[in-house]
Amino acid sequence: MSTEVTNPPSALPPFDTGQHLLSVSQLDRAALTRLFAVAESLRPVGEGRMVCRILEGAVLGSLFFEPSTRTRLSFESAFRRLGGSVVSTTGFTFSSMAKGESIHDTARVVSGYSDAMVVRHPDTGSVAQFAQASVVPVINAGDGSGEHPSQSLLDLFTMREELSSRDKSIDGATIAVLGDLRYGRTVHSLLQILGLYDNVSFRVFGPPALALPSGFFDLVASTGNRIVECDSVDEAIAPADVIYCTRVQKERLSEEDEQAVHLHGDLLNTAILQEHASPDAIVMHPLPRDSRHNSFDLSPDVDGFPGLAIFRQTDNGLLVRMAIFSIALGVADRVADELRPATWRRR
């Protein structure tokens, strides 16, 4: 697990029709704005009020070399909601690769069955390798400690929507980031991608053994934003517009680390929020959260807090992934025209 700032691969072309999406570095601010507008236009489809069949006849190849059920379901549901079909496989079931087949051959063959692919793999860089041999656009759904661009995009989209409903914007926002700042991939991606926005103030707090690697302070500074390391949750959240929590990835800690880290109690709960945070604050978390008592995570007792956006985050994931597919397959400009009322209803 790398805890260093890595420079994004510079050779990647901007994300657009026919292109792979391997890294958030493929999107500039204009591209983000466009993607989010497409996502927003698809909200009635995500909510089951309208249907859109614009990808009818297209087949998505969904290859999860390591399981990640909710990410897989979200991507597959997004493609299906646009009228497409999915062929899917999970786990290390590629017996071919055990027989000495190269990632090139696997990728070339399987891409020939699909019109787009979603690939997750435990090894950093392997999805990019996969994409090189593919004859269709490949969306990176996470490659180890590498990138997981759709997660960063849904975080950003949610932040934007939630702030906008309070007449604020990401430009100028104060964002508290709490929890595992050392290993949390989503935190690192967020700090990087928010470099596209202006006047952002980060206030970060994590247990000493899980502090933010120093390179990220330089990274934020280099983009013109501000970052402050806080000594407590209270101090971090007090002026925050957005509070972004993360789970401590206990499975990555050594026993010593675990001793050193304050890992009991709650990271954040209603009492702390009521005492220290703005009543208007937005609370986010990439999920899953550890809901067991004393797990040093976001307590389930916050579920009544009005600014809790954690489930809107996952709901938004569907919209963002629909938008990603729309762009990759060249239909983004037409989705809004293809909406029609659903003939069924959930409620």
Residues 306-335 interacting with a copy of itself (rule: CB under 8 A): 311, 314-315, 318, 329-331, 334
Question: Does the CA dihedral 214-217-223-224 come out positive or negative?
Answer: negative
- The tokens 């657009």 sit on which residue? 16
User: Three-state secondary structure along 235-262?
Assistant: HHHCCCCEEEECCCCHHHCCHHHHHHCC
Assess 345 for contact with a copy of itself (CB under 8 A).
yes
Length of the chain measured in residues: 347
* 96-125 binders of a copy of itself (CB under 8 A): 96-97, 99-102, 104-106, 108-110, 112-116
120, 91 contact by CB (below 8 A): no
Assess 12 for contact with a copy of itself (CB under 8 A).
no
Nearest approach, Cβ of residue 276 and a copy of itself (Å): 24
Q: Which of 2, 4, 6, 18 binds a copy of itself (CB under 8 A)?
A: 18
Interacting stretch for a copy of itself, rule CB under 8 A, among 72-80, 187-195, 205-213, 267-275?
A: 72-80
* 202-221 binders of a copy of itself (CB under 8 A): none
CB count within 10 Å of CB 243 equals 27
Residue 305 C-alpha from the chain's centroid: 23
For residue 277, give the nearest of 161, 174, 163 by alpha carbon. Answer: 174
Q: Which of 14, 48, 122, 306 binds a copy of itself (CB under 8 A)?
A: 48
* 273-312 binders of a copy of itself (CB under 8 A): 287-292, 295, 297, 300, 311
* Residue closer to a copy of itself (CB basis): 2 or 17: 17
How far apart are the C-alpha atoms of 320 and 323, rounded to whole Å? Answer: 5
Q: Which of 4, 28, 56, 218 binds a copy of itself (CB under 8 A)?
A: 56
How many angstroms separate the Cα of 97 from the Cα of each of 5, 61, 86? 32, 17, 22
* Residue closer to a copy of itself (CB basis): 226 or 262: 262
For residue 66, give the nearest of 118, 25, 136, 106 by alpha carbon. Answer: 118
Q: Which of 29, 53, 166, 226 binds a copy of itself (CB under 8 A)?
A: 53
Assess 81 for contact with a copy of itself (CB under 8 A).
yes
- Output the furthest CA–CA distance in the chain (Å, rounded): 60
Assess 264 for contact with a copy of itself (CB under 8 A).
no
Q: Which of 10, 95, 256, 304 binds a copy of itself (CB under 8 A)?
A: 95
For residue 23, give the nearest of 171, 124, 157, 170 by alpha carbon. Answer: 124
135, 79 contact by CB (below 8 A): no
* Residue closer to a copy of itself (CB basis): 188 or 285: 285
Interacting stretch for a copy of itself, rule CB under 8 A, among 135-143, 177-185, 238-246, 269-277?
A: 135-143
* Residue closer to a copy of itself (CB basis): 5 or 50: 50
* 219-258 binders of a copy of itself (CB under 8 A): 247, 251
* Residue closer to a copy of itself (CB basis): 152 or 326: 326
DSSP 344: S
